[in-house]
């Protein structure tokens, strides 16, 4: 049985009410929107391809902002749209891990 998606990307978009650090306060929403738009523009979205989803807290706040790509279970930290582009170009399109952004 094959996977429904080749890559399933989850962005932590959690927003903490108590003021503690969280991905939602570190540009995660804009990065999520950027990836969704770029994946669609590249026609990489849809069944058998890539799905980009919102997630609540992924419980790694000190490493954020974060996304994780399944089924490989590779976690990435990002700061800029260029980081998101590199993840798309290298991990999603070429199948190579972006080690400089990877979070163990």
pLDDT of 82 reads 98
Q: Domains of the chain, with CATH numbers?
A: 7-103 (3.40.30.10)
pLDDT of residue 21: 72
Q: How confident is the model at residue 1, as a pLDDT?
A: 45
Q: What is the mean pLDDT of each run of 10 residues along the chain (104 residues)?
A: 83 76 79 97 95 89 88 95 98 97 94
Using an 8 Å Cβ cutoff, are 70 and 10 in contact?
yes
Report the DSSP pairing between strands 7-12 and 74-77.
unpaired
Contact assessment for residue 43 and residue 59, using Cβ atoms and an 8 Å cutoff: no
Secondary structure of residue 35 in the 3-state scheme: helix
Q: What is the pLDDT of residue 19?
A: 66
Query: Over the range 3-15, which residues count as b (16 or more CB within 10 Å of their CB) and which as e?
Result: eebbbbbbbbbbe
What is the per-residue pLDDT for 98? 98
């Amino acid at each position: 049985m094959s996977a429904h998606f080749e890559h399933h990307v989850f962005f932590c978009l959690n927003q903490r009410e108590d003021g503690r650090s969280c991905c939602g306060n570190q540009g995660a929403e804009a990065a999520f929107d950027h990836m969704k738009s770029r994946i669609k523009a590249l026609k990489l979205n849809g069944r058998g391809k890539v799905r980009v989803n919102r997630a609540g807290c992924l419980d790694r706040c000190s490493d954020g902002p974060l996304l994780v790509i399944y089924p490989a279970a590779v976690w990435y930290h990002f700061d800029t749209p260029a980081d998101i582009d590199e993840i798309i170009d290298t991990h999603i399109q070429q199948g190579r891990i972006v080690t400089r952004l990877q979070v163990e």
